[in-house]
Amino acid sequence: MKELTAQTLFQLSTVTNPVVSPNGKEAIIVVTNLDEQEDTYQAHLYVIDIKTGKQTKLTHAKGKHIAPQWLPSGDGFTYLSNRKGKNQVFLKQGMTDAKQVTNEEHGVLSYVLSPDGTRIAYSAFFKESEENEPDRKPEPLVIDQMKYKSDQRGLHDDRVMRIGSIDLATDNQQWLTTDYYDSQLLDFSGDSRHVLFASDRTENRDFSFSAHAYLINIDSKQERQVTKEACVITGGAVSPDGQTIALLSHRREYENATLPKVILYRSGTEETDLTANVDAFIGDIAIGDFLQHTGSNRLRFSDDGQSLYTLVSSKGSVNIWKFSLNGDHQQLTNTDAHINGFDFHQDEFIVTHSSVVEPSECYRVNHTEKTLSRLTSFNAAFEESFHVSVPEKVKLNRDDGSFVEGWLMKPAFYKEGQQYPLILEVHGGPHAMYAHTYFHEFQLLTAKGYGVLYTNPRGSHGYGQAFVDAVRGDYGGGDFQDLMDILDDVVKTTNWVDESRLGLTGGSYGGFMTNWAVGHTNRFKAAVTQRSISNWISFYGVSDIGYYFSEWQIKAELDEMETLWKHSPIKYVADVETPLLILHGENDLRCPIEQAEQLFIALKRLGKQTRFIRFPEANHELSRSGKPSLRVKRLEAIFGWFEKYLT
């Protein structure tokens, strides 16, 4: 078996976003690969015969071809493609070349195909009177609002996210929303005449984080407001008969730590919470470093409109659940893995599925036995050629009923009787969930001779509302204790761990925790902090989410400097004795690079052992969707630092 390396990324495929044909005999999937030569990503559509597993490639032009949707006739499909630059919707029927349907200057963000297949609704950024001259001079950006930038979008201008529609037969295009408010596309109605969307229309949106849902008639442009109270809306669906609307939403009872709920809206009746008795995250919240184009957080009505299907994240696994409109609920799959996408025909479910040893493949679900039958083998060569480490579940139970859960990975070429260094990995969020999913960084470290411990401390999703809320206002307190306690337990109960060679790394919140830990303990021999937070006072004003995230998470406003400083790792920089590597993206607006700059200068000023690596053209998503060459260099930097200090 070969040793896995950072470059092995280029030999892996992720299979995601399955959509089943109207007759239930075929499914289209998205297969994504990293292109080493072009230093980008290639995503192509394949159609699979569900019975035989035979697969045929549908797209061939370079680029990303994603988000497929079958025409109801089954004789064609629509999809998003950047083959001509920006993402546009294309229609493919028969043997002719795909037809470009949209022509939006800034590309299409998302789209839905109407149930009758006659039109699409889509979302795109729009700006009035935009000049297109190639020699246009740069203009200063005038800012009047606090929400003027985001890590995904960059600096905002006057563009607004509109919803448009196009008749596929006539190519007639029209805008359904025209106000100066961003609109989030959710679903088409069963009669193909109405579009469900969400929009925040408050005057001052700097302190507004909720929206209302609306149903708009495509022909008359008449709107009906669905929600009585504003809420955070992350998904939505309309029943086939149009009488019921389901929203994946919440009312910020615990700010951004609030579990989403499936809420029903029916004319003349009170709202119904279908998930009132489910203390779990509705949707896919699993953390990984490889999956692309999943399209997983969606609600789907059953064909008879009496049930809803969605993914649910719990205790490191992501499975399909069924919520009946009568209040019953049922878990339809029972896998210790990560189902990242699904579709169905009648009772036949097709899923894309990742496990700790498998990047992602397509499976058919046995509805009766809740087992999976594999349909694709895009990663067969990887599975046959490379040795990977299979995690063992670890759990620390305390006398007071509290607990910490995680997974321990042995070095890939482990030999009984030898001792090995161990690296503790801390996820971001903090409201996320390490899961039974493929993590290339972890496998690389085990291939290089390290054990890896990754856990879900308090603040993580997957263990209920109280658990995820427990970190707010206590950063560096109970969460840090959770990590140290489970590390102590693993060291105590595992004879192959060399306690003198412990490493630590994490990104975002995990970077904060890395910074915090090295200022409060000297037990780690080396650490790597990534896209981190070091100073909550400056973070308040420079992050795209700072001014409200700090209030939600640290529970301190800007005039509460003592509290912000108390939770800032840079306060404790004089106590740092651990060699610390600092990794940060130049274009990170979530945790801006000034956070890394402050930490590096403070450490160097005191003569501490540190190094700072800046990644150009990289935002907060470097480790997951950044330029492939930079992702490889990041992994090599992490391994190189640990190799220097732990071997």
What is the SS3 string spanning 479-538? Answer: HHHHHHHHHHHHHHHCCCEEEEEEEEEEECHHHHHHHHHHCCCCCCCEEEEECCCCCHHH
Any idea which residue has 């409060």 for tokens? 520
pLDDT at 335: 93
pLDDT of 543 higher than 90? yes
| Residues 259 and 280 sit within 8 Å (Cβ to Cβ) | yes
pLDDT of 297 higher than 70? no
Catalytic residue among 307, 567, 620, 623: 620
Pick among 3.40.50.300, 3.40.50.800, 3.40.50.970, 3.40.50.1820: CATH of 388-646: 3.40.50.1820
Region 341-353: mean pLDDT is 93
pLDDT of 569 higher than 90? yes
Number of neighbouring beta carbons within 10 Å of residue 210: 17
Q: What is the pLDDT of residues 36-63, one digit of tens each?
A: 999 999 999 999 999 999 999 999 999 9
pLDDT of 484 higher than 80? yes
pLDDT at 138: 84
Any idea which residue has 């109280």 for tokens? 466
| 240: three-class secondary structure by DSSP | coil
Report the percentage of the chain scoring pLDDT > 90: 92
pLDDT of 494 higher than 60? yes
Q: What is the pLDDT of residues 402-459, one digit of tens each?
A: 999 999 999 999 999 999 999 999 999 999 999 999 999 999 999 999 999 999 999 9
| Residues 53 and 45 sit within 8 Å (Cβ to Cβ) | no
Q: Where are the domains of the chain?
A: 159-228, 388-646
pLDDT of 401 higher than 80? yes
pTM as predicted = 0.96
Region 474-484: mean pLDDT is 98
pLDDT of 132 higher than 60? no
pLDDT at 129: 63
| Residues 409 and 426 sit within 8 Å (Cβ to Cβ) | no
Region 166-181: mean pLDDT is 95
**Environment class of 113 (CB within 10 Å of its CB; exposed 0-12, middle 13-18, buried 19+):** buried
Least confident segment among 93-97, 318-322, 445-449: 93-97
Region 284-294: mean pLDDT is 87
Residue 508 designated active-site: yes
pLDDT of 134 higher than 70? no
For residue 367, name the pLDDT band (cuts at 50, 70, 90).
confident
Report the percentage of the chain scoring pLDDT > 70: 98
Closest by CA position to 322, among listed 286, 275, 354: 275
pLDDT at 647: 87
Question: Which whole-number Å values give the CA distances from 420 to 27, 412, 444, 491, in the listed order?
Answer: 45, 11, 15, 11
pLDDT at 84: 87
CA distance 582 to 571: 17
Beta bridge partners of 45: 30
Residue 210 designated active-site: no
Distance of CA 115 to the CA centre of its chain: 28
β 286-287/433-434 pair status: parallel
- Mean pLDDT score of the chain, rounded to an integer? 95
Catalytic residue among 13, 389, 508, 534: 508
pLDDT at 291: 86
pLDDT at 130: 58
CA distance 140 to 298: 39
pLDDT at 195: 98
Least confident segment among 301-305, 343-347, 459-463: 343-347
